[in-house]
Structure 1
């Protein structure tokens, strides 16, 4: 069905957001990056488009809620290991991100997350098996 995903996220300060995500370990595709937006590579065919709020407003007439006080959705990314989950959360914390909760271990799934500088929630999970049968 779908071959790629682009998650569009409005940000207040594009340069500051790029620096944050670079500190966490992500790279930006220069072909999709300028002073209005930045194409962040999350994995093969997985992208987050960080868009200045001014530019993002050209795509929708709706208001952008303050992601620090409202949740309209969040990004969940799979990781190769529990250690990768913890390492990315630690990098986000060191780069100025907020850690809103503790890691959660559900046996088959381990997760933890962070909020970026604009308050967007990023959840990181490692799946080591399947959930128990209901």
Structure 2
């Protein structure tokens, strides 16, 4: 097991739909940590996304669950190996119902520093930002 891993916990309205969405963009479901309340989506060896039904998600805290479709609460940025990988992930996401968000001002700023990114909202409104940067941060 790697020394550090990240697990992103996301509330989802329809667990089966969300599993299909993430599988369709090339990520895998780990059946050992998947049941009727949650699904473990493996992005790579160190990153997993835990999809949690709304009911199960609310057991992790006392605050009420917000509506992620109407607000921005988090942005999940994912470094990839090339502009092509960024485009391929975004195209796969859109093919499965994601919505691309475009911010022209930000794209121009990124181009100045050698960064390329695109943004999509998954079916539950969670904002993903695959990006490529030609040099390490």
Whether TM-score is above 0.5 comes out as yes
Separation in structure 1 between the aligned mates of residue 91 and residue 117 of structure 2, nearest angstrom: 13
Higher helix proportion (structure 1 or 2): 2
Pick the aligned partner of 1:122 from 120, 123, 128.
128
Partner of 1:112: 118
Residue correspondences, number: 130
Report if the CA contact (8 A) 1:108-1:130 is conserved. Answer: no
Separation in structure 1 between the aligned mates of residue 103 and residue 97 of structure 2, nearest angstrom: 17
Report if the CA contact (8 A) 1:85-1:126 is conserved. Answer: yes
Residue range with higher mean Cα deviation, 62-71 or 102-111 = 102-111
Partner of 2:56: 55
Q: Secondary structure at the match of 2:100?
A: coil
**CA shift for structure 1 position 129:** 2.1
Stretches of 4+ aligned residues off by more than 2 angstroms: 102-105
Q: Secondary structure at the match of 2:71?
A: coil
Residue range with higher mean Cα deviation, 72-81 or 106-115 = 106-115
Deviations 1:89-126 (A, max 9, x none): 00111000111116835242110021000000001010
Residue range with higher mean Cα deviation, 98-107 or 2-11 = 98-107
Give me the TM-score of the superposition, normalised by structure 2: 0.88
Q: Mark the runs of 5 or more structure 1 residues left unpaired by the alignment.
A: none
Give me the TM-score of the superposition, normalised by structure 1: 0.90
Separation in structure 2 between the aligned mates of residue 102 and residue 79 of structure 1, nearest angstrom: 20
Deviations 1:48-86 (A, max 9, x none): 100001111111121122111111112110101100000
Q: Mark the runs of 5 or more structure 2 residues left unpaired by the alignment.
A: none
- CA RMSD of superposed structures (Å): 1.6
Q: Secondary structure at the match of 1:99?
A: strand
Q: Secondary structure at the match of 1:123?
A: strand
5 Å-filtered alignment, 1:1-134, equals: 3-101=4-102, 104=107, 105-106=110-111, 107-129=113-135
